[in-house]
């Protein structure tokens, strides 16, 4: 029994619909991670230890535990409190929360990288804090952060496969379902691998283009 090309071709549409779910989950998760990460980063920069330390503790805790376990935790424990959400929502939330710990590091590093002279110049010109952030710091901090954030998006494309464990029918789960129905695992799982690779490789190329354009703007 070798590769059944006709079979492989026939399951492609179903796999692509799974890929679509993967894309949706990753993008929603990334949106959550991007926003939540910024919140965490700003909270950790707070002068008040009552804000920065607990948030720091939370981030440390989430970062030290596996995404899979967090998925199980939210999926199985929340219903015990009557909070029943669709698996997709639970999954993307957990994905976003997990990755927000990484994006908050990107934000922190990016903001710290702005030389303190910029802050001092803003003070000397009597800018308000808001003006300083919006007009001076963030415009300089964000472009260099985009490649790092983009890399985490690509990471999320791949790690979203773990949502299969909580019954979200994304790409990997679709492949498993096909396999269990047809008893042929070779083609579905291999195609799943190839599709994930294609997705992440193409995104990486696109990201590199973005990096080049940012480099050019910064010169």
Partner 1 sequence: MHNREQSGSRTASLVWAAIIFLALGISLGVSWAGKRPLDLLPTMLRGVVVTVKLTIGAALLSFLVAVLAGIARASKVWLIRTVSAFYIEFFRGTSALVQMFWIFFVLPLPPFRITLTPLQAGIMALGLNVGAYGAEVVRGAILAIPRSQIEATIALNMPPGLRMRKVILPQAMIRILPPFGNLLIELLKATALVSLITLSDVTFQALSLRQTMGRTKEIFTLLLAIYFLLAYPLTLGVRWLERQRRWA
C-alpha pair distances (Å), 130 with each of 61, 119, 137, 138, 178: 31, 12, 10, 11, 54
Contacts of partner 1 in 137-166 (CB under 8 A): 158-159, 161-162, 164-165
State yes or no: residue 67 binds partner 1 (CB under 8 A).
yes
- Are residues 52 and 46 in contact, defined by beta-carbon separation less than 8 angstroms? yes
State yes or no: residue 172 binds partner 1 (CB under 8 A).
yes
Q: Which is nearer to partner 1, 64 or 130 (CB)?
A: 64
SS3 state of residue 113: coil
Smallest separation, CB 214 to partner 1 (Å): 20
Contacts of partner 1 in 78-97 (CB under 8 A): 80
Non-local (6+) Cβ contacts of 59 within 8 A are 40, 44, 101, 104
Q: Which of 52, 132, 140, 182 binds partner 1 (CB under 8 A)?
A: 52
Half-sphere exposure of 212 (CA within 13 A, CB side): 6
- Rounded to whole angstroms, the Cα distance separating 77 from 197 reads 33
Q: Which is nearer to partner 1, 135 or 193 (CB)?
A: 193
Give the binding site for partner 1 (CB under 8 A).
Answer: 1-2, 49, 52-54, 56-58, 60-61, 64-70, 72-73, 76-77, 80, 158-159, 161-162, 164-165, 172, 176, 179, 185-186, 189-190, 192-193, 196-197, 200-201, 204
């Amino acid at each position: 029994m070798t590769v059944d090309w006709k079979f492989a071709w026939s399951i492609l549409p179903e796999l692509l619909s799974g890929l679509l779910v993967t894309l949706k989950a990753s993008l929603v998760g990334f949106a959550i991670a991007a926003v939540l990460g910024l919140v965490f980063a700003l909270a950790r920069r707070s002068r008040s230890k009552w804000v920065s330390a607990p948030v720091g503790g939370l981030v440390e805790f989430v970062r030290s535990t596996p995404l899979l376990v967090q998925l199980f935790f939210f999926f199985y424990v929340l219903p015990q409190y009557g909070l029943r959400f669709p698996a997709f929502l639970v999954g993307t939330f957990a994905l976003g929360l997990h990755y927000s710990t990484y994006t908050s590091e990107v934000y922190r590093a990016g903001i710290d990288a702005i030389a303190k002279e910029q802050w001092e110049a803003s003070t000397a010109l009597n800018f308000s804090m808001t003006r300083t952030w919006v007009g001076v710091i963030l415009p300089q901090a964000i472009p260099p952060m985009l490649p790092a954030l983009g890399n985490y998006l690509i990471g999320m494309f791949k790690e979203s496969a773990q949502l299969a464990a909580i019954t979200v029918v994304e790409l990997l789960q679709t492949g498993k379902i096909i396999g269990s129905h047809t008893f042929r695992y070779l083609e579905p799982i291999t195609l799943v691998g190839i599709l994930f690779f294609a997705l992440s490789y193409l995104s990486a190329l696109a990201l590199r283009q973005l990096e080049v354009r940012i480099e050019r703007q910064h010169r």
